[in-house]
Amino acid sequence: ALLDAGVDVVEVTLNTRGALEMLGAISRHFGDRLVVGAGTVMSPEAADQAIAVGARLIVCPHLDEAIVRRAVERGVAVVPGGFTPTEIVRAWNAGASFVKVFPAGPVGPRYIRDVLAPLNHIPLVPTGGVSLDNATEFIRAGAAALGLGSALVDPKLVAAGRFADLTRTAQ
Active-site residues, by number, are 11, 100
CA distances 47 to 61, 122, 149, Å, are 13, 23, 20
Residue 20 backbone phi and psi in degrees, to 5 = -65, -40
Query: At 68, which amino acid appears?
Result: V
Cα separation, 112 vs 140, whole angstroms: 10
Cα separation, 116 vs 150, whole angstroms: 27
Give ∠ CA 143-145-148 in degrees, rounded to 5.
110
Cα separation, 12 vs 22, whole angstroms: 7
Cα separation, 114 vs 148, whole angstroms: 21
166, 154 in Cβ contact below 8 A?
A: yes
